[in-house]
Amino acid sequence: MAELPSPAAAPPQVGTWPLLTLAWPLILGQAAHALMLFTDRIFLGMISPEANALGMPAGITAFALACFFTFAGGYTAAVASQQVGAGLPASVGRACWPGLWIAVVGGLVNLALIPFLPFIMGNIAIGADLHRDLVALTAWYMAAAGPGAITVAVSGMFSGTDRTRWAGGLAVAQLALNALFNWMLIFGHLGAPALGVIGSGIGTFLASSLTAAAALALLWSPVMRAAHGTARDWRPDWQRFWNYLSVAAPHGARLAIEIGIWTLFTHAVGLLGTPALVANNVVINWNLLTFLPMAGLGQAIAVTVGQAVGAGRDDLARLAAWQGLRLLMIYSALVAVLVVSLADPLIDVFLAQTSPNGAMDLAAVRRTCHHLIWVAALWGFGDALNMAFAHALAGAGDTRWPMFAVLWCAALLLLLPLSVVVAMPALVASSGLEPVVAAWLVTLLFVTGMGLVLGWRFRSGRWRGMGLAGRMG
């Protein structure tokens, strides 16, 4: 029997402090995930530069094959928040179980693709021994995708029910376990075999699996079972599964498309020459770190909007989005001042003082990095628009329109002008603009344009009436 809304259900608190209180564990969780990848690269680099070079293609390949299932499963945050906002907390488990099943299916799909990795990775031109290590490392990363997706889906339920500290704690635990197992299995510490590159993949798989087990234990804890019915109705129900998938699949597809777009952009920059790629990588490393707090705050916006929509308070949903945008803009302004002011030391962290055999003009690369840092400083404001309104729309249940919007904006604002830059770099350079800087300006156009489009959609109010609570539980 369907649960009746609780008359005691209160609308969410909306404001600067409530948003920050909700967001800080999510920010911590995002930072932990990034540090986990950073730790992997550090350990692999301690083996050899060639081993370090394997981490990026292995990680990108595994993530690209898993990201749709991970993001679709993680839509539990929006579903859970609307159930809570509607006064249906005991229906959270029933409404969110489809997200966990999507995560399980994603893990099985990744396992089924592992035998095809020699073909998938066949176009990477490295030696036979390195290629064998690359395939094996990617296989272990793909095996870890299923447990990782399960953790994301469960963490979404914790976030949607105002247990963001649980979600952040799981991310920090995974970071610690990953560092420990990588250290043991790569170098042979504490009695473990020294497995080298393969040890990194096994360590990541073990850390992801143990974290997923901890997440499920928390999901089935007495507190969660009593408050949110997480032990009931876990068997697949096709109607509920379809209802969930109808909104979660476009959400997962949009984020997967965005990842594909940025992967394509990286390959396009590689066509502009090694110095351009070096400058791009130097600046993008710092840009990713400054992006993390924005992602955590964006998740908090989605949860708050979801709870407000579930409670029937569209006015509070609007307020949450605009409050979140204000915080994101303030943060972006502070980061812009910081990265421009500290440009030289930030560049020096990644850029060596000399180039072997003088093969690269590092002074020119440094100048390019400075130009890209200015563009990256402006990126933050476009990212703020994207983060605020994409998460607000997702929290409200509006996922299909943003999916098609990113396709059109990518085609018109990114791929079309970027193809001109890549096809005619000499013409671009003749105008006095470095081709890689022109490419980054194209991405600035895309990011800002996409943010404005999503902002227009949210301001139009067409997301009203797309609440999920009535059809998920």
Kindly give the confidence (pLDDT) of every residue in the chain, 473 residues in length, as a single tens digit, with 9 standing for 90 and above: 445 444 445 566 676 778 878 777 888 777 777 677 777 777 877 777 667 667 667 777 788 888 899 989 999 998 999 999 888 899 899 999 999 999 999 999 999 999 998 887 765 545 566 778 888 888 999 999 999 999 999 999 999 998 989 998 998 899 899 999 999 999 999 999 999 888 989 999 999 999 999 999 999 999 999 999 998 888 888 888 888 999 999 999 998 888 888 878 877 887 787 777 778 777 877 777 777 778 888 888 999 999 999 888 999 999 999 999 999 999 999 999 998 998 888 887 766 554 444 555 677 788 888 899 999 999 889 999 999 999 999 999 999 999 999 999 999 999 999 999 988 888 888 888 888 899 999 999 999 999 999 999 999 999 998 777 656 65
Determine, yes or no, domain membership for 4: no
Determine, yes or no, domain membership for 1: no
User: Structure pTM?
Assistant: 0.84
Q: How far apart are CA 415 and CA 449, in angstroms?
A: 13
CB atoms within 10 A of CB 42: 14
DSSP 102-114: HHHHHHHHHHHHG
The parent domain of residue 357 ranges over: 16-472
Determine, yes or no, domain membership for 299: yes
HSE value, Cβ hemisphere, 13 Å, CA-based, for 426: 0
User: 121: which residues sit within 8 A by CB, 6+ positions away?
Assistant: 57, 61, 131, 134, 135, 138
The pair of three-digit structure tokens given for residue 103, joined into one six-digit string: 């995560």
Domain count, the chain: 1
Q: What sign does the dihedral 380-381-383-388 (CA atoms) show?
A: positive
Residue 90 carries which DSSP code? G
Determine, yes or no, domain membership for 8: no
